[in-house]
Structure 1
Amino acid sequence: MPGSDLTRFQLPPLFNLPKSQLQCYGEAAYSIGTDMLSRCNSGESPGERFIAVVAWSISTVRPAIFGVAPYNPVLGETHHVSCGDLNVLVEQVSHHPPVSALHATNEKENLELIWCHYPTPKFYGASVEAEVRGKRQLKLLNHGETYVQNSPNLSIRFLPRPGANWVGNVIIQCQETGLAAELIYRSSSFLRRKGNHRSVKGKIFESSSSKTLYEIDGNWDRTVRVKDVNNGKYTVIYNAREALSGLNTPMVKDPKEVWLSESAVVWSEVSQGILSKDWEKARQSKKAVEEKQRELLRERESKGETWIPKHFTVCHSKEGGWDSSPIQKWVPPAPIVVPL
């Protein structure tokens, strides 16, 4: 029915990507060809750093493939990867509703990412829209600055032309500098005007006075630029081809140190079935993963136990949603690494 919550809906393997949603969240942090996080840290002024943060924020938006979706992570599933000096750890901290927590740190750059995501997909007849609730924090510890932002929503449209796009408003705020930004993501219209396809527009402004400092315009899958309203100068701040080309696949550096909860381990048999197009193997393997989770739930309920995340503390936020805090100050190096 239109408006129905789809969080408990299970796709058959034929419509699954051979990866978990946790891996997709992690990739948004570590899978990038240029070190845009370091650029955030190296800006000499608050304005330069804020523009770099906006560019990095846009870089986390990746094209979605219509017709297929990643696996829904199981409770306690993790994804732990290192890319250079950046160590990333993601954990599924709740199953119903599905809540994922991410912690990434770079001790050399002295920066930290803390994310908490919980998508709420709903069916609207000709489309599905997944509102990605929760917040993202980027902490530039050398500068004592924390940048807080939300995520755009994923819109999957069946008619008149099938497609998947990111839409909605993203607000980025830094309380310490008093700067803020508003980004508006739009998909193409029914007429499919080329300039509007995957467009992002917005502004950077002073929170106290609402004075606009920069205007933002472009396409998040191509290039985005800012215009300094004081002098009219344009600067390209994001080039998708440079940022997302030549990406390397993570590889296992130390098999003995890979946790059994790692996404690639949990879903290995399912992924093998999908990649070999052995759909019966994929279906049976996915059924086994899901049944194991039901069995663990029954065991906890029979003992009166409540599941507790290993790497995060989780609570309800003041806004009525979910929030997470990492238990460790720094994410340790991972046994899975991205070759540089």
Structure 2
Amino acid sequence: MAEEEEERRRHPVLAKTFSLEDEKDSEHTASNVIRKILSLFKNVRPGSDLTNFQLPPQLNLPRSNLQCYGEMVYLCRKDLLGECSRRDLPIERLKSVVTWNISTLRPLVFGMSPYNPVLGETHHVSNGHINVIVEQVVHHPPVSALHATHEKEKIDVIWCQYFTPKFRGAYVDVEIKGKRVMKLLNHKETYEMNQPRLIMRFLPTPRAHWTGKVKIKCPETDLEAEINLMSDSFIERFRGNNNRSIKGKIFESSTGNELYNIFGHWDRAVMAKNVKTGEVEVIYNAEENITGLKPPIVKNLKEVMESESAIIWSEVSEGILKKDWERAREAKCLVEAKQRESLKNREASGELWVPKHFSVVKDGKDWDLSPLQSTVPRAPLVITEAEGEKS
């Protein structure tokens, strides 16, 4: 009986990820989400204090933000990460890094939010030659750390992510801070890049989208790329259209000499035009890479860590998937209560939290980190062969 209870308690729940084609699902339309939001406030009196108002499970996606974060790297139908190192010329490698960076952009569901990760929560997944570990290393402010390695092509990726949301009246502007670094060890090249901003707009039509300028720079090759994620015009927003256009360039850092123009739409296709020859090539096709995405499966349950997102939030996710909102609410409250109790115990004993997989440093207002292991080990959660066969 005890073994059955242990097996049930350790059962990870890995819900279907949000793919490009799922935007058409009526469950995720902005109007349907808004109805959910309004229904939650129908019994709230005017002037009530909402300081302690907790986001109910009806507005949660059945996955942790750590899972969403990791999916950007390990969940792609083609091995675009490995392609960054397979190219012979530096300019071709930078184009591949641009392509991979674009592939990390995923559709967003307005008004629906993943779970806020608890301190020490982890997510560990492998897809082909790609191994990814994500950990919540700081709780206030919430800082997430990601380390990914490509076994075959000797690629190392380190991300640090934390948010600064600002209310702008008709929209919320979320600045995503933290470094993103890719190292192509076979070529001794380092690519440094920043992160786009997230805009959650209420008027004239509700939507969430990526915007801002992404810079990718490689000091060793003197090459650089700028990618502008364009915001929709007022007319496009009023019509409810998704623009999602990209404009950018690849150039020499020292001279500013432009080599390629980048243009297209990240949810459709992105092209690169050779400035010298006029030749145009498709460098990214969204349909080929971020449609039909499937969640990981459990390859070895005994090796799944207790801190794994899919275990910590399993009861909540099962409640949401079955639309058993009371069960989901109780399970969510239990997870949050355990986190508060852990914090209380650490404060009482004077114990400082130490992440398991990263060394974390605060430099002024910024956070920096480095992984404790040079490579990420194979994970007990894997993408199936059919999904990751091209890795």
User: Is TM more than 0.5 here?
Assistant: yes
User: Of 39, 54, 61, which residue of structure 1 is paired with 2:105?
Assistant: 61
Structure 2 gap ranges (5+): 1-51, 386-391
Change (3 A) 1:311 1:214: same
Instruction: Determine helix, strand or coil for the equivalent of 1:192.
Output: helix
Aligned to 1:190: 234
May I ask how many residue pairs the two structures share in their alignment?
A: 332
Aligned to 1:5: none
Residues in 1 aligned to 2:291 and 2:326: alpha-carbon distance in whole angstroms: 34
Whether 1:158 and 2:202 are equivalent positions in the alignment is yes
Aligned to 1:4: none
Aligned to 1:283: 329
Change (3 A) 1:227 1:314: same
1:316 Cα deviation after fit: 2.2
Cα deviation per residue 1:52-108 (whole Å; 9 max; x = unaligned)? 000100000101011201111100000000101111000000010000000011222
Aligned 1:1-340 pairs, distance under 5 A: 10-192=54-236, 197-317=243-363, 320-340=365-385
Residues in 1 aligned to 2:53 and 2:130: alpha-carbon distance in whole angstroms: 34
1:278 Cα deviation after fit: 1.1
Aligned to 2:11: none
Contact 1:214 1:227 in 2 (8 A): yes
> Mean alpha-carbon deviation: is it higher for 276-285 or for 137-146?
276-285
Cα deviation per residue 1:226-281 (whole Å; 9 max; x = unaligned)? 11111111111000000112323200011111111000001011111111111111
Contact 1:155 1:164 in 2 (8 A): yes
> Mean alpha-carbon deviation: is it higher for 90-99 or for 129-138?
129-138
Residues in 1 aligned to 2:200 and 2:192: alpha-carbon distance in whole angstroms: 26
Contact 2:86 2:153 in 1 (8 A): no
Q: TM-score, normalised by structure 1?
A: 0.95
Amino acid at match of 1:254: N
Between Structure 1 and Structure 2, the one with more strand by share is 1
Instruction: Determine helix, strand or coil for the equivalent of 1:191.
Output: helix
Between Structure 1 and Structure 2, the one with more helix by share is 2
Contact 1:103 1:326 in 2 (8 A): yes
1:121 Cα deviation after fit: 1.9
Instruction: Determine helix, strand or coil for the equivalent of 1:14.
Output: helix
Contact 1:19 1:71 in 2 (8 A): yes
Amino acid at match of 2:355: P
Amino acid at match of 1:337: V
Q: RMSD between aligned alpha carbons?
A: 1.5
Q: Percent identity?
A: 58
Change (3 A) 1:38 1:9: farther
Change (3 A) 1:60 1:10: farther
Amino acid at match of 1:328: Q
Amino acid at match of 2:245: S
Residues in 1 aligned to 2:264 and 2:154: alpha-carbon distance in whole angstroms: 31
Contact 1:186 1:196 in 2 (8 A): no
Change (3 A) 1:283 1:196: closer
> Mean alpha-carbon deviation: is it higher for 224-233 or for 120-129?
120-129
Contact 1:187 1:196 in 2 (8 A): no
Runs (4+) off by over 6 Å: 193-196
> Mean alpha-carbon deviation: is it higher for 309-318 or for 41-50?
309-318
Aligned to 1:3: none
Contact 2:212 2:228 in 1 (8 A): yes
Residues in 1 aligned to 2:226 and 2:363: alpha-carbon distance in whole angstroms: 22
